[in-house]
Structures are given as C-alpha cells and as structure tokens.
Chains A and B, each alone.
Chain A
C-alpha cells in the first residue's frame, strides 16, 4: 500500500529538499522536523508518477522516528525493494530519493548536531576515485564513517556541466558508493554560498583585469570551512579528504606539504586553508601515487575508478573562459592590442579573457618575434603585448598574505604544479609582503596566488598585487 498518511509539509521545517521537474515534470518535496538528531517528523509532497510517489511515501514512513544519520543510509536499492518498485521505475524512484536526501542535507547544513562519537570520521566525497578510496579504506579501519558531498554551483549553460566533481550525477554516484558500504551520506547543497564566495569573486577578478585562482579560494575560504563545521556538528573529531597533499607537524598547527606524487600534488590549492582546521584534517592519499590508487580502486571494483577527471575550474563545466564570463554578465568589447610603445598591432574581442603570458589566440605579430600578453588594462580595454623576456619579474608584491611560519628563503610557486623560483620572503606590512626572486619568474599575473614553500612545506601564501 502507498502510505499517504505523511503527505503534506512540516510547519517550520528543520530541513527541506526538492527534486524533479524534468521531462515528465514530476516533483517531490520533503520536509523534516528534528528532535535532537532524530527525524521526529518526515512529510512529503508528490505530484508524480506511481513509482516516485510510492518511493516518497515509503521513505517517509521508513525514516520517521529514526536518527537522521540512519535515514542518510537509505539508498535507492533499499527503496526499490521496500516500496516494491519494478526496475523500470528506478529512475522515477530516484527523484524521491534525491528529494529525501536533499532534505536531510539541508537539516545538516542548518546546523543539526549529534553527540561526539569517539571513532567517527567524516569523509569528504567528490564522487571521484580518490575520495572513493579514502571512503573504503576508512571503512576498513573499522571507523564510524559519515560521508559528506558538497553540491556546488556549476554554470548550467556550460557544454558539459556533468564533468564537474560536484555535479548532480557525481553526488549520486558518491551516495551510491556510500550506501553500498552501509555508510550514511549527506549531500550539502551549497550552490548559493559557493557562487557568492567563489564564483562571483572569480568573475569580478577577471572583470578587473586580474587572473584569479578559484581553487585556492574555494579550499581556503569555503570548502574546508564548510566540511569542518559539519564534521564538528556530526560529532567527528577528524575528517578526511582524497587530496594529494601531506601534513607536517610543527608548533600548534600542521603545515600543508606537497603530496608524494609530484605529478598529482595538490598542496598549492590548499595553501590558504585555515591552520586550525588542519588539526582535524587527514589526507590518507598524501603519501600515495595516483597510479597505485587507480589500480587498487579498479581491483576493488570501485565504479568511480573509471570516472572522468574533474575540470580544473569545475564550475565552468568545460566552457572556454570568454563565453563563461559573458554568461556571467561580463561585457566583452573589442579593443586594441598594443605593444609597449603604444603602437596598435591589432584588435582583440575582449581584453578581460586574456591572461599575462598568454600567446595563443592573439593573432598579431611584430616581425618574427613571438608576442605574449604582458598586461591587461581593464579600464582602457587594452592588451599590452611584448616579448616573453619582458614578463620576467624579480620582485613580486603580495597582498592578503598569510604566514604559517617565518622563514627567509623560500621557493615561490605561482600556479598549481607550476615551476618554483627560489628567493627571499620579506614582510612589508600587516598583510603585505614582497618576494625577491633569485631569477626571473614569468607568467606572474595579478590576482594569482603565490604559494611559498620551504622545501615541501607551505610557509606562506598571498595574492599577487596589481
């Protein structure tokens, strides 16, 4: 029987989730009311086909009265059996499962707390192979695992929005994997926050003629904070991610260090993570090689082993920069390409999509010399080009500097897995500094994050000033 006794909505719900609206316009909405960490009331709305409606009704009845984390363990497979839904109805039932989990995730995002559990680990799941490995290994250790996936904003008009690690399908595959291992899965819909904290500054940076680095901002100011807060709320003393980076103990808080696999090293994008958070984070893959992780994942039959690698800028969903920026409201106007003497060499279709050092797509020449973008001047919509050697810089001013430990000699890195240049680190103000390099650094662009290493450890980082 389809149990219609839980139709409707909870007044002033502690969590709310929706799904549907696709080709057949079926829609499901769940609302939950909590007492502590228990689902005191689960109500559903459904304007949907029988499989979806049956799944929603069954989920509400099954989950009500239990712990939220027990509800977070209920996956599609269990719903199909419990609600007696034929395989042909699986895709429909999934709409109900999505809405249900969205409501649980919302309740967690709103700050639901559970008592501390001694051996609890939260695993941050992206849906990719690395986090899948972390999950299975943490389960093998016998720890009490709760998985968390962040659903982040992706440009809906991008050519392949599903290729991002935080796409809906990635969230589903992470959830499926967790449920196969009996692990509760929480998906947090942080699309709005992500857009405000990461995407908008990224767009604004380009609009101002800079070259922002969204991954460092995301991890440093958004993602780690969000997961850490959730982990603490869920009573976990530690949490884990699949980043290829290591932690080196020093003083009160560990330092982020390069991963063992230098081809996969992700320490750069973790440079701005709050040191206090690092005391609770573990990087189980930091001392592993990606190829080993992949072959082991394949051996273990982890479906994610074959998943596509995510994009460098996930929210662009495979889009080129210029059309992405235009979709976000950045006006691209044709303007002059000039050399350093101010002589016009040609026309560009919008200066803001160009980055210092860039050579491709300029379409201008001066004799036989290869021309690179030297500067983007946003106010005059002008690109200044010149020889590569003109990009070379011995001194780089930094703003928004964060110092983890004070050292004199550093190796400066200006992009993910970029070559490093040795030099000196000189603090010039409260949060400003100067990097004096031993030799020329090329392709240093305003807005980029300079990450300063002492050996393999990150000791400071800051944004390249204009």
Chain B
C-alpha cells in the first residue's frame, strides 16, 4: 500500500513527461462518441477518488482483463474485517461469532448475485484454486473421461492434464474460427457417463463469450456435470445459476471485479458432488479447509454487488461502445470479432510482434497486454488463437486491450493517438527487416 500512498517511494517511477494528459488535439474529434459516451464514467458516485484511483489515473490502464484496479468501495468494505472485526469464524466467543455472522452474510450475498444457494458457495484462494477444485475434486479416486474446450485457461487445462497423466481420458472440444465452441462437435463428444465438461464462460484471450445456457442443456440431457470458468466472464457478463439445468459449478475471482487478489469462489449445485483437494480443519463444508478469509468474502460480495447495480450495467454498454469505436479507428483485424464478446475486450491482431507494441504503448503511459509472451527466445503463439485457426505469425501480433469501468473516451483517444504516432516507424522497421 505504501506504493500507492507515497508515490515517491514507489518502485515503479513513471516519467511525468510521458504521462502528461493525452494530447487534446484528437479528443473530441470523434463527435458521435462525445455524444454517446459520458465523460464522467470514471468518476464514481459518492465522493472523492481515493489515492488508489489517483494512481490509476496516472496511467491509462487498459488491462482490466489481467486484473482490475481495486474499487474504493470494495476496499472500504474490507477494511473493518482486517482491523476490528478480525475474529476467527470457528471460535465460539463474541469476536468469532461476529466474524461467523459477517462470513455468512457475505456468502449469502455472493450466492444471491449468482443465483445459487449459500451452501453451494466454496470460498477459495482465487480462480485457479476454484478451477482445480472443480476438476480434481470431481476426479478423486476415480478414473474416467472428461471433455474440455480447446481454449481453457491453464488453471483448468493443466488440472485436466494432471488427470490425463493418471490415466483419465481427456477429450478436447474444438472451437469454430469465430472463437465459440463448436456445438455440433460437442454434441458428438459428450457422452452419458462422462465425469465432467469444462467450458470457460469467456476467453481471457479473445473475450469471446460461450453459449453457456445451450451447453448446460446439452450436458444436463446427458447427465454430465458442467464446470464453467467464469473468472474472466464475470467482469462483463452475467450467469444465473438458477436458470442452468443440471449439475453446474462456476469459478470466479475477486480481482477481476475490483476486489483483491487471493479471493475466489467455486459456486453451484455441483459442489455437492466434490471431494476436497485441500485438507485440514474442515471449513467451507469440508471442501476447503483453512481459516476463512472474512475480509475476502466481504470483498467478493461487495464487488459482485457493485457490478450488478444500475450504474454498472449502463457502464458496460458504454464500455462496449468505446471498444467498438477503438477497433473501428485502428482498423486492425480483431480476433473473435464475429462472436459476442465481453464489453471492452478487444484482441487486436496488430501485424507486429505483440510484446513490442505493448512496450511502445507502455512507454507512452498506456498499459495493455500481449496475447503471447516471449519465453527463451521463442514467441509461442497463444493456444486459443491456434485453436481458432489463426496463423502463428498473425497470432504473435496479438495485443489485448481491455477496458474497465473507469475507462474514458479520452483514454481511448490517447491510445489511438499513441498507436498512430509509432505505427509508421514500426512499419518502416518491419519492412526494413524483410
């Protein structure tokens, strides 16, 4: 926290010249944008910006899909549970009982926002643990068959791989070039008796949303449980578990929603069929031992509440409009553009190496992320893009821009201006390398 409160001690020092407010020359040129987009979407209701928000404002942060900046209201809701309301919910004394009540209230609220029963909420250390529990907790002591989509996050994919190493049959369900699951293929692949089907709600790479309702029906018809990695999807889409048939679990993580890292949950009726993968004092209905993180539970509940309020829903529409305008102005190919995507999520196929573009934007005070990371001298194209049939060389140019509730039209203008500033040089460089 010192980093935020005393920026002079921050280990990352931003060059003020670089971080000067974006050139206003371009701002306002997109007149239709000005009419549609409220310029105040970055200002939260209810008062002054906290030091956290001030820091965020220093950088044009367009990497909400990696992690969302902490929401002041979430931090405020957590704080009492990190200070005076610190008790262990398992203890019978007053402090313990108070903590237990806080936890129960938070759990009930989490359940409510997701359309689940409170006893079907298992709090975890984050999305990865929730995914691991959904997969490995389903497979303990058994052998069998699982069907997973070709575009799963490593939290699911590596868990399934671990099972494959123990003799499980793992079937990969393909996606169509648009990035959505090939439902015809899925129909053929999922068989009665399968232990689990895993499909992520929205790709963390492309932002493409999957038709979860149809998939849930398909699974329920065959009596096969479904796990949905909703970690990315939760930032911009809703899932109502009460409307999904069959045995379903979803994984969510607070830090994608303006909450802290280290808090997540596995939620849904499928919980009842799982065995624990973390053993100990038997907390969380025996499914996830360890003294409960009450502050984290409150944070997750608060984050879910905020994203459900009327303002947040309107903001999502604005986010999608900003994203569409960005894509139109840059004129680049976009992965998954033909599918329904998370609002504010764009995977740009830049034609250059993604990490080079990320660095050049970063130097201009704009934070985005590369679709592929270069490791040991080799830029491996992202598996999701490969699964979509995108050429390796094209995939290496992927840059993910993900907008959030605080994103403004000015920031989009700044991104477009920065791109147009260095793109000609980058083009010359690429041509000169040929």
Contacts and interface: CB of A to CB of B under 8 A. Distances in A.
B374 A44 contact: no
Contacts of B428: 7-8, 45
Contacts of B353: 26, 47-50, 53
- Chain A interface, DSSP helix/strand/loop, else mixed: mixed
A423 interface: no
B33 to A, nearest CB: 29
A1 interface: yes
Given A7-B425, A8-B429, A54-B359, A88 B352 contact: no
19 contacts: A2-B359, A4-B429, A7-B428, A23-B378, A24-B378, A28-B433, A31-B432, A43-B432, A44-B429, A45-B429, A46-B432, A49-B353, A49-B356, A50-B359, A53-B353, A53-B359, A88-B375, A89-B374, A91-B376
Interface in A321-341: none
A54 B362 CA distance: 13
Contacts of B430: 45-47
Contacts of A92: 374, 377
B313 interface: no
Contact of A53 (B356, B376, B380, B396): B356
Interface string A1-25: 1101101110000000000101111
Contacts, number: 94
Interface in B364-395: 374-380, 392-393
Contacts of A24: 374, 377-380, 396
Interface of A: 1-2, 4-5, 7-9, 20, 22-29, 31, 43-51, 53-54, 88-89, 91-92, 94
Contact of A45 (B355, B363, B392, B431): B431
Contact of B355 (A22, A44, A49, A91): A49
Interface in B315-358: 352-353, 355-356, 358
Interface in B385-434: 392-393, 396, 422, 425-426, 428-434
A53 B379 contact: no
B376 A26 contact: no
Contacts of B426: 4, 7
Contacts of A25: 392-393, 396
B77 interface: no
A50 B374 contact: yes
Interface residues of B, number: 28
B422 A4 contact: yes
Interface of B: 352-353, 355-356, 358-360, 363, 374-380, 392-393, 396, 422, 425-426, 428-434
A24 B397 CA distance: 12
- Chain B interface, DSSP helix/strand/loop, else mixed: helix
Given A2-B359, A28-B433, A88 B376 contact: yes
Contacts of B380: 24
Nearest to B352: A47
A44 B432 CA distance: 7
B361 to A, nearest CB: 11
B360 A2 contact: yes
A168 to B, nearest CB: 14
A91 B377 CA distance: 5
B378 A47 contact: no
B377 A50 contact: no
Contacts of A26: 353, 379
A46 B429 contact: yes
In the complex, the 3 A-B pairs of residues with the closest C-beta atoms, listed nearest first? A45-B432, A91-B377, A45-B433
Given A4-B426, A26-B379, A49 B374 contact: yes
Contact of A22 (B359, B377, B431): B377
B359 A48 contact: no
A47 to B, nearest CB: 4
Nearest to B357: A50
A9 B431 CA distance: 9
B433 A29 contact: yes
A89 B433 CA distance: 19
A97 to B, nearest CB: 13
Contact of A48 (B356, B422, B431): B356
Contacts of B379: 24, 26, 49
Contact of A50 (B355, B376, B392): B355
A44 B431 CA distance: 10
Identify the interface centre among B353, B377, B380: most chain A CB within 10 Å of its CB. B377
A12 B378 CA distance: 33
